[in-house]
A and B are shown apart, each in its own frame.
Chain A
């Protein structure tokens, strides 16, 4: 079974802090994704990566950056957390290409105070 893990289920940070959200997958998937999910707004893609050290902006990249130094790990970075980044963050992975299903981690509920 594909397993995608995220470093924290719940996280509380203060405004202005630098925040790292880690995601690890164990199925040798090429693609990895970061989404945020907010009530009424559905799932929105922040960034995705189709290979090590490669990244592409999604729909809402502002205020975020990512890092993919190893194939299995994809990190989301909030350079200076703000209250409007309070959200559920979901990581996913898939085989290469658009044809394959994405497998999701359990999510990290981030609260910025």
Chain B
């Protein structure tokens, strides 16, 4: 069974304190790994797609990387506005259905 696991469940950082969120997957025939940001009461906002091991994508203070078994979302010098839940999801060879993790709730404090 395809499975995506995110850790930690929650993370509290001080402003400027860099860290990484983990997304491990047991998905056969992974065709893409996606990262989303979700603010409370809103729909997920697309951030990145990674297709192959070794690939990296960056956007402002966020950088996503992919290995054969996991993906990391690195947050460099975070600010309070980076506080949100970050979701990852994988799409398999069977079509375009996504399997989502349960998310990491990030809080960045002053």
* A and B from one complex: no
Q: Which residues in B have some Cβ–Cβ distance to A below 8 Å?
A: none
Q: Which residues in A have some Cβ–Cβ distance to B below 8 Å?
A: none
